[in-house]
Structure 1
């Protein structure tokens, strides 16, 4: 059920205007921003996309982090509702009461429109402990999957075993996190160089072969690694394919 609270802490206090701290879609950066706020003694909230009706530009589990000073990062839509969601988060930080908010289809906010025509529901949770966030960050740094579990009734967020799919399970919502996708580009050509630059621009963790012995990069392969073969030489590429399959 939606709850409405005033956006001003106390009479006469100026309204805090939400502003993006920086633009990112990276889960690790969002969680790091929130954990950093708590470590610095600031209150913060985590906003999570927990339901989609029709179309959505972000998947379930997309998140924003909002600090008590109004700065936020992350996306839960295509940029349509982030400022409004940050206002809700500031309310939650002030009241201490978590809430669910609907935008688009089924929402009471007729002036906040989702151009895709769908609707989304966001959970807004006041963070009380950085430990679950740090556990996820540590796992991703070790290139291991991780999870967060949010229970609305108890207003709790805790680390959870890795799950294969983000979504509701009984009374709680699980968010699955994977390490950053790694791309290893094999080749000694301008095509390989350009491909590596494009992959970096897209946000992948990009590694390149040394141009002589691709086996030096085999140790970097894991379940979240893709390989791109641009040697144009089957004799060179077959060992890479075998190593990728083994990983």
Structure 2
């Protein structure tokens, strides 16, 4: 069976870290997909256990196979794609072993060690896949259980990955997509929103009474209502970051209070340090508890990067990623 990995010369498919969106696209198009899960790593590797790739059926028997995600920085992706084509064709799952102890001695891992990958076929009407996507839509954690042939999904909050050897199966946790909500419309707020979208966050830009036309760059949603009202409608969770950047306290304070009370994983408000005492007093008067205020990031970001919009946004996004990471990687 022939076929090439689409985008191999410029592998931007590796930017995709969550395979659920391309899986949803494949299912909507009625196209089967091959889901590859890195379930064991020995030694050093660019990705850890639980990393996934998705390969979508080219449908013409010999065209390019579309991929999302990556495992090794171009050491094994092409070969995994070749096996994925066979899995798509015959439906038989494969367990692949690369590196030390592998039967394929011609495939070398630059960083040494060994990688073990399960590749399984997911039909467009797969019930477990529909359930997985349903939990994602509802922003609930769940776990994908599979032995390569039989699949089920449970709503639980266990480790990122469990692997069972005899008989073989794995359970991979999927959390809600990381979400960034930015309120504001100045260059700094727009830089933060754009960088968030480029960083694979579900990015929502709030601009109270802002222009009717959407921003000139892609975001998941553009909302013109007051932040506190918008956050109540959107709902908060620990995979959500909120950044108040309107520079108007009646908007930013209300948004931060709603985010803190809703359990957002990160809450920040841009502004001069000299404004911090008055803002804290206002939040206390509005009912914020000491525990709420301890989670609030005033003048957020990484010091020393600079003060241009992109420099400030880069520091804030780094801080947000660090804050939300434990929710993704908790044991």
Match of 2:18 in 1: 26
Tell me, in whole angstroms, the C-alpha distance in 2 between the residues paired with 1:197 and 1:95.
42
Tell me, in whole angstroms, the C-alpha distance in 1 between the residues paired with 2:4 and 2:228.
49
Tell me, in whole angstroms, the C-alpha distance in 1 between the residues paired with 2:142 and 2:94.
25
Q: How far has the Cα of 1:27 moved from its partner?
A: 1.9
Match of 1:17 in 2: 3
2:174 to 173, 177, 183: 177
* Distance 1:210-1:187 versus aligned 2 partners, 3 A rule: closer
SS at match of 1:240: helix
The root-mean-square deviation of aligned C-alpha atoms, in Å, is: 2.7
Match of 1:165 in 2: 159
129-138 vs 93-102, greater mean Cα deviation: 93-102
Q: Which TM-score applies when normalising by structure 2?
A: 0.60
| Residue 80 (structure 1) aligned with residue 75 (structure 2) | yes
Higher relative contact order (CA 8 A, sep 6+): 1
Q: How far has the Cα of 1:183 moved from its partner?
A: 0.5
Check conservation: 2:18, 2:52, Cα contact below 8 A. no
Match of 1:246 in 2: 261
Check conservation: 1:163, 1:174, Cα contact below 8 A. no
* Distance 1:56-1:150 versus aligned 2 partners, 3 A rule: same
Check conservation: 1:100, 1:122, Cα contact below 8 A. yes
Match of 1:132 in 2: 128
Report the number of matched residues: 228
Query: Comparing both structures, which one devotes a greater share of its residues to helix?
Result: 2
Check conservation: 2:18, 2:69, Cα contact below 8 A. no
| Residue 90 (structure 1) aligned with residue 110 (structure 2) | no
Q: How far has the Cα of 1:82 moved from its partner?
A: 1.4
Match of 2:143 in 1: 147
Match of 1:204 in 2: 201
Structure 1 residue runs of 5 or longer lacking an equivalent are: 1-14
Match of 1:194 in 2: 191
Bigger CA radius of gyration: 2
Q: How far has the Cα of 1:94 moved from its partner?
A: 4.5
| Residue 58 (structure 1) aligned with residue 47 (structure 2) | yes
Q: How far has the Cα of 1:95 moved from its partner?
A: 4.8
Tell me, in whole angstroms, the C-alpha distance in 2 between the residues paired with 1:206 and 1:123.
32
1:225 to 226, 240, 244: 240
